[in-house]
């Protein structure tokens, strides 16, 4: 998983359970901007509901599932531990993806939409592989458009493939793991755009690049 990426986002609170183990809970990360700061590209209301309701649901669901899993494990209930895998994957993925997403977004005044510096290794890699940043955005948008139902698109660095950049999509709240380092995560669930863009999700995918923080993407590319 991506726990190391999110140390700052996770504020552990100690839990003492009936089985004596000490575990940590995840919680909503602090945002670097106000709900209204991404307007007009993403409305204040969308951010508010997305963060306080949707992301919170994944936080709560993950904490519950992990707690139940630990209890089942302590009691030797193998079948129950297997059954809980789906909830852990869904809510843990939802928690993780949204932590990535918020950090990937920045108001235009705080560098949102600003391309990585041309002389940076990251910018050179993008040009070498895709020809231009616009081509990478267009490829990502076409992958986003191809998602059937709910899912995510990620621009990743594939550490098993010489650090090549790739654009991948996942269904539901599946996140990227293993050698795939997420640089940019884009939420393609209806809840991410419907209040503002209704059925025209292509407009949301086009608008979001105005508030994408390439600085954050570059940081992840460089440290991983």
Name the residues that contact Mn ion, by CB under 5 A. Answer: 54, 187, 189
Q: Which residues pair with 185 in a beta bridge?
A: 154
Smallest distance from the beta carbon of 54 to Mn ion, in angstroms? Answer: 5
Among 89, 178, 117, 186, residue whose Cα is nearest residue 147: 186
Smallest distance from the beta carbon of 36 to Mn ion, in angstroms? Answer: 18
Smallest distance from the beta carbon of 91 to Mn ion, in angstroms? Answer: 12
Instruction: Write out the DSSP string of 122-191.
Output: HHHHHHHHHSSHHHHHHHHHHHHHT--SSEEEEEEEEGGGTTEEEEEEEETT----TTEEEEEEEE-SGG
Smallest distance from the beta carbon of 43 to Mn ion, in angstroms? Answer: 14
Closer Cβ to Mn ion, 150 or 158, answer by number:
150
Closer Cβ to Mn ion, 193 or 214, answer by number:
193
Closer Cβ to Mn ion, 47 or 141, answer by number:
47
Smallest distance from the beta carbon of 95 to Mn ion, in angstroms? Answer: 11
Q: What angle do CA 131, 111, 151 make, to 5 degrees?
A: 65
Question: Rounded distance, CA 53 to CA 165, Å?
Answer: 32
Closer Cβ to Mn ion, 189 or 214, answer by number:
189
**Does residue 37 contact residue 43 with C-beta atoms inside 8 Å?**
no
Closer Cβ to Mn ion, 187 or 216, answer by number:
187
Residue nearest to Mn ion (CB): 187
Q: Strand, coil or helix: what is 102?
A: helix
**Does residue 112 contact residue 211 with C-beta atoms inside 8 Å?**
yes
Closer Cβ to Mn ion, 102 or 221, answer by number:
102
Question: Rounded distance, CA 204 to CA 206, Å?
Answer: 5
Q: What is the DSSP letter of 220?
A: H
Smallest distance from the beta carbon of 58 to Mn ion, in angstroms? Answer: 8
């Amino acid at each position: 998983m991506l726990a190391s990426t999110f140390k700052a986002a996770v504020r552990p609170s100690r839990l003492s359970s009936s089985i004596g183990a000490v575990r940590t809970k995840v919680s909503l990360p602090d945002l670097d901007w106000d709900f209204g700061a991404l307007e007009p590209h993403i409305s204040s209301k969308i951010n508010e509901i997305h963060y306080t309701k949707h992301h919170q649901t994944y936080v709560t669901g993950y904490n519950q599932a992990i707690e139940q899993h630990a209890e089942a494990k302590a009691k030797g209930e193998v079948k129950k531990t297997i059954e809980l895998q789906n909830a852990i994957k869904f809510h843990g993925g939802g928690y993780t993806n949204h932590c990535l997403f918020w950090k990937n977004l920045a108001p235009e005044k705080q560098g949102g939409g600003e391309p990585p510096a041309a002389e940076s290794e990251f910018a050179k890699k993008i040009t070498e592989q895709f020809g231009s940043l616009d081509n990478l955005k267009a490829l990502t948008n076409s992958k986003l458009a191809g998602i059937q139902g709910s899912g995510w698109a990620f621009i990743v660095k594939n550490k098993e493939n010489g650090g090549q950049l790739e654009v991948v999509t996942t269904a539901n709240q599946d996140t990227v793991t293993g050698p795939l380092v997420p640089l940019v995560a884009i939420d393609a669930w209806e809840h991410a755009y419907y209040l503002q863009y209704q059925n025209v999700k292509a407009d949301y995918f086009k608008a979001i690049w105005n508030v994408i923080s390439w600085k954050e993407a570059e940081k992840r590319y460089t440290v991983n």
